[in-house]
Amino acid sequence: ARCCASERSATREKAAALDAAALAQLVSRLEQTASGLGAREVSKAASALGKLLQRAGADAEAPSLRRALAAVTDCCVRGATALDAQAVATVLHAHASGGCAPAEASMRALQQRAATLASDGDFNPQDSANTLWAFAKLGVPPDGALAAAPALRLA
């Protein structure tokens, strides 16, 4: 029985090493191709990275996941006017879930885009909830224009 347990442990360690190598490869590829992603792909990639970061915690993979999320966010910020309300909410939610705020310039661009979309009435209740939760989780108050947007007012 001891032999079987050590074999299972060795198999798990090999699988974890393969998973880490595959993840490193995937993250590297994502960083290289982020600039070619559209708004929906950026949103999906950010969501997946946020979930992986949430799981990784302090694991060795966390720094590379943070870099990939930053690359994806920078990419979407450069084309921020193409982001719809769901994409903005998803990118902010991914950062909050992963416990890492976007760079200051990226946060400003996301806030500005969210303010524009919210004032145009493009936020649905789920987008509003995700956006407000992300700001609260990150400890970042929405800027004035965003806080004043009718779609995000709580009262």
| Count of residues making up the chain | 155
Going by C-alpha positions, the residue among 48, 55, 37, 60 that lies closest to residue 93 is: 48
Q: Quick: pLDDT tens for 20-56.
A: 777 778 777 877 777 777 778 888 888 988 988 888 7
Mean pLDDT of 129-133: 91
- The DSSP line for the chain is -HHHHHHHHHHHHHHHHHHHHHHHHHHHHHHHHGGG--HHHHHHHHHHHHHHHHHHTTSTTHHHHHHHHHHHHHHHHHTGGG--HHHHHHHHHHHHHHT-PPPHHHHHHHHHHHHHHHHTT---HHHHHHHHHHHHHHT-PPPHHHHH-GGG---
pTM of the model: 0.77
Alpha-carbon torsion (71, 72, 75, 76), positive or negative:
negative
Q: Quick: pLDDT tens for 69-124.
A: 888 888 777 766 678 899 999 999 999 998 889 999 999 889 988 988 888 888 88
What one-letter code names the amino acid at 141? P
Instruction: Sort residue 139 into left (φ over 0), alpha (ψ -120 to 50) or beta.
Output: left
pLDDT value at 125 more than 60: yes
